[in-house]
Structure 1
Amino acid sequence: MTAPASASPASESVLSHRPFTLFWGARVASTIANQMQIVAVGWQVYQLTHSAFDLGMVGLVQFLPALFLALLVGHVADRYDRRKIARICLFIKGLAAAALAIGSIYGWLDKQAIFAIVFVIGATHAFESPTLQALVPGLVPARLLPRAVAWAASATQTAVIIGPALGGFIYVLGPSTVYTSSSVLFIGASLLVSLIRIESVLPRREPATLSSLLAGIAFIKSRPAILGAISLDLFAVLLGGATALLPIYAHDILATGPLGLGLLRSAPAVGALSTAIFLARRPLSRRVGRSMFIAVAVFGVATIVFALSRSFVLSLATLVVLGASDMISVVVRSSFVQLETPDHMRGRVSAVNSVFIGTSNQLGEFESGVTAAWLGPVPAVLLGGVGTVVVVLLWIRLFPTLFGLDKLVNPAAAPNPPAQPPSPATPTTT
């Protein structure tokens, strides 16, 4: 898949490219739907069970399908039209949300039914996430990729601000209202993706051999800096999973309700969105490796402060700082990985990246739930924050090249040569 030609050499706005604008809108709609659904599922499960372990199980049942399907979904993303894959995944998510709504209306939605539907959502997300990551470089000229990554992140964070607060507010009308709204948004996002038209080169569909399935892992292993960037974020998210315990903090520690939970869920996105917009306009130009490590360390410190806070206002402010620091790490890591990966490998590399990063959110939720069940919510979050800071210090010693990374490479100036001779393909515009 090749990036569309720029309309004008002087044009540097990623939003002037219609395919990316449609992608941005789809990302906003689907993430709002997902965040509304997360609030409703979390609150509903805790009301049903009052169990920190069951809150952690919500994350685990989403993590498992992504883990076991990782190698397959990357291969699929590199063999088939990524737009079609994303469109189908979003539509299935819409159906899953509709099932949650129907179950809530008719009263058969118990803990086991929620876990089963969430498992389907996790399996669908396993295909959707790496496909969308691999799709972005084909929507804009290569020179705009770092800005496109920042704008894509801003779409996510805009939705993360709106979605949880909106979900908490609508939950007053009942969980079925939240799930129905989510279903409509997922299907709308699917329609937006179907409108994307880009010039593409359809690759030869190589057979699904063990070598091709493992190609993403082999590629990352051969590049220590990429491995360091991905694994740093993995452990930061895994250890710093405070958001999994927000229903407990809202209900038992900060004494607030669903609306307060929605605001707490939105707070990290407030800091992340402002940072993403800033980086979209003024990308980091020097010492990007050092900046990423400092940002992850701040993330850990913010997690420690949140763990000890008993003030709703202080907790909100701390979560804003947590989100802002996390966004710096996300933009640097995502841009670096995409720029260093040739297009024919992006699906498989993105799939491995999704297991390390995307699914670490769900595994982190499970880890936080189990630790909170053993030690209590405050010690669980506190230990996670301390662990994050320790990992940063250790990774500086293990990956000095990544820490010393000065600037992101411009692929237009130093293109990645193809790893194999190009196969016959027919350019098409669809």
Structure 2
Amino acid sequence: MADDEGAAAAPSILRHRPFLLFWASRVLSTLCFQMLAVAVAWQLYALTGSALDLGLVGLVQFIPVLVLTLPAGHWADRGDRRAIVAGCQGLVALLAGLLLLGSLQGWLGREAIFVLIGLVGCARAVEAPTMASLLPGLVPRASFPRAAAWSASANQTAQILGPALGGLLTLLGPGAAYGTAAALLLLAAAAAAAIRAPRPVRPGDARGLAALLMGFGFVRRHRLVLGAISLDLFAVLLGGAVALLPVFARDVLGTGPAGLGLLRAAPALGALAMSVLLANRPLRPPVGPRMFGALLVFGLASTVFALSGQLWLSVAALAVAGGADVVSVVVRSSLVQLNTPDEMRGRVSAVNSLFVGASNQLGDFRAGAVAALVGAVPAAVLGGLGTMLVALLWLRLFPELRRLRDLDH
């Protein structure tokens, strides 16, 4: 961790050059990934007309997460984290360039798209835990909660702007989106490479599988970290309703694609607003009860969305849910990073990334499977109530979280 400069350093976080480079790199990387997702989906569906192929795009990107996330955490703890991040972004820039070249020359078919997007998934699987473990070494310890909030705002901003920009560029042809993404990714890689950060302390003598699994061992031994990560896992697993938004838009709210767009943007807009608020006014003690309160609000807002029959109320409920979720994200990321020694941050961040990826993917599956059995509205109601039940259960299972006063425990 960078030297502690005290709370007085917190207001100057946006003038801290290493953090600004990190923020720019993350914004550009996530923005370009969203652009590529839109362009690839559009081009693939135009080529094959298969909805199954669209689902396979997600699968070929999720498999690398399962295979590479734990090794990526080990690499992050043994190598130069900024170089790994820059290398991953440079690789995705190259792959975007190949997508552009294949589109222009006419050889980009179904199989080639799957291969290239699978390689993009490999790069992203390595980049995510490495970037998460890089941030704590760039800012004073007292400033980390603000930095985490600004980092979350970067992610939300990119998730809002990326699909829109990708869609506009795809109107000119998928090649326009690929070329723009390749150029911006090179800028992201340059920003990451320009970061000045200390090299991490090399871990001990563990090798092979034991070294890869040390992150799980650390999480299991530290109940604050275990409680925060597992709470977020089950809350998102039960409360997520993104997969059901097309059903709600058409069959429940009676709206069209424009309404669906509003529903999809609402959680990110609420999350962005809360991220900016927390960056300027960090959570005050006691942090633990505030986190549990935010999760109860998330579950309640999800339930209101499920029962709403009005588009405006549904959008408002999703925005509230997105804002409440960011509180949990900032608390979890701060607890994980501030309570993990630097030589373990890569592997613990990898465990966190694996849990987050699993909760999002399995949460969509859970929502779809339950909706197929009982309907979309009951499925979403059960998810919201389930999230509130998990929050109440974790209050008893992890009293350390309930009693938590501040993030720098």
Q: TM-score, normalised by structure 2?
A: 0.86
Amino acid at match of 1:63: F
Partner of 2:387: 388
SS at match of 1:173: coil
Larger deviation: 244-253 or 63-72? Answer: 244-253
1:94 and 2:93 are equivalent in the alignment: yes
Query: What root-mean-square deviation, in Å, do the aligned CA atoms of Structure 1 and Structure 2 show?
Result: 3.2
Larger deviation: 377-386 or 339-348? Answer: 377-386
Supply the distance in 2 between the matched residues of 1:300 and 1:43 (Cα, whole angstroms). Answer: 33
Supply the distance in 1 between the matched residues of 2:43 and 2:301 (Cα, whole angstroms). Answer: 28
| Distance change in 2, residues 1:241/1:201 (3 Å) | closer
1:235 and 2:234 are equivalent in the alignment: yes
Partner of 2:289: 290
Partner of 1:419: none
Supply the distance in 1 between the matched residues of 2:117 and 2:370 (Cα, whole angstroms). Answer: 22
Partner of 1:36: 35
**Is contact 1:22-1:192 (8 Å) kept?**
yes
| Distance change in 2, residues 1:355/1:31 (3 Å) | same
Larger deviation: 101-110 or 172-181? Answer: 101-110
How far is the alpha carbon of 1:21 from its aligned partner?
Answer: 0.6
| Distance change in 2, residues 1:152/1:324 (3 Å) | same
1:79 and 2:78 are equivalent in the alignment: yes
Q: How many pairs does the alignment contain?
A: 406
Give structure 2 stretches of 5+ with no counterpart: none
Percent of aligned pairs with the same amino acid? 52
Q: TM-score, normalised by structure 1?
A: 0.82
**Is contact 1:289-1:404 (8 Å) kept?**
yes
Supply the distance in 1 between the matched residues of 2:53 and 2:304 (Cα, whole angstroms). Answer: 25
Amino acid at match of 1:167: G
How far is the alpha carbon of 1:72 from its aligned partner?
Answer: 1.1
Partner of 2:302: 303
Partner of 1:343: 342
Supply the distance in 2 between the matched residues of 1:229 and 1:401 (Cα, whole angstroms). Answer: 10
How far is the alpha carbon of 1:64 from its aligned partner?
Answer: 2.5
How far is the alpha carbon of 1:242 from its aligned partner?
Answer: 2.3
1:226 and 2:220 are equivalent in the alignment: no
How far is the alpha carbon of 1:248 from its aligned partner?
Answer: 5.5
Partner of 1:213: 212
Query: Which aligned pairs between 1:295-334 and structure 2 lie closer than 5 A?
Result: 295-309=294-308, 311-334=310-333
Partner of 2:120: 121
Supply the distance in 1 between the matched residues of 2:387 and 2:43 (Cα, whole angstroms). Answer: 30
How far is the alpha carbon of 1:175 from its aligned partner?
Answer: 4.0
**Is contact 1:147-1:281 (8 Å) kept?**
yes
Cα deviation, 1:38-76, whole Å, max 9, x if unaligned, reads: 44455667776675x766554443333212223211110
| Distance change in 2, residues 1:374/1:355 (3 Å) | same
1:182 and 2:178 are equivalent in the alignment: no
Supply the distance in 2 between the matched residues of 1:114 and 1:370 (Cα, whole angstroms). Answer: 28
**Is contact 1:161-1:267 (8 Å) kept?**
no
SS at match of 2:164: helix
Give structure 1 stretches of 5+ with no counterpart: 411-430
Supply the distance in 1 between the matched residues of 2:282 and 2:341 (Cα, whole angstroms). Answer: 22
Partner of 1:415: none
Supply the distance in 1 between the matched residues of 2:42 and 2:383 (Cα, whole angstroms). Answer: 23
How far is the alpha carbon of 1:375 from its aligned partner?
Answer: 5.7
Supply the distance in 1 between the matched residues of 2:260 and 2:44 (Cα, whole angstroms). Answer: 14
Amino acid at match of 2:14: L
Partner of 2:266: 267
Structure with the largest fraction of helix = 2
How far is the alpha carbon of 1:184 from its aligned partner?
Answer: 2.7
Larger deviation: 9-18 or 70-79? Answer: 9-18
